[in-house]
């Protein structure tokens, strides 16, 4: 089980490294990036660092990453919705 946990951690660490590279490439081309992608990238980085520095079982990354995906998607939607409502307040 320890090996499987490290494999899961390595996958999340890979995503934590490659997502910022992809976001940078899109910004360099002048393309937009969704807020949810940026938030999820931050979550992957935090998850990878926290599980590396603590002795928590790395198999918990599976549900933590899934939960962070749901929370970050909701966060991006709710922030975008509130900013979109500003034009109707005038």
Residue 50 has what pLDDT?
96
Task: Write phi, then psi, for 56 (nearest 5 degrees).
Answer: -65, 150
Kindly indicate the confidence band of residue 1, based on its pLDDT and cuts at 50, 70 and 90: confident
- Tens digits of residue pLDDT in 33-61: 888 888 999 999 999 999 999 999 999 99
Using an 8 Å Cβ cutoff, are 37 and 19 in contact? yes
Element (H, E) at 72: helix 61-85
Element (H, E) at 26: helix 2-29
Length reported for the chain: 90
Residue 84 has what pLDDT?
53
Range list of β-strands (E), 7-81: none
């Amino acid at each position: 089980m320890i090996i499987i946990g490290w494999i899961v951690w390595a996958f999340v660490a890979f995503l934590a490294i490659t997502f910022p590279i992809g976001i940078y490439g899109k910004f360099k081309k002048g393309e937009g990036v969704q807020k949810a992608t940026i938030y999820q990238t931050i979550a992957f980085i935090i998850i990878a660092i926290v599980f590396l520095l603590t002795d928590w079982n790395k198999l918990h990354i599976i549900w933590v990453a899934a939960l962070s995906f749901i929370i970050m998607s909701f966060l991006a939607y709710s922030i975008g919705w509130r900013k979109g409502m500003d034009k109707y307040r005038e």
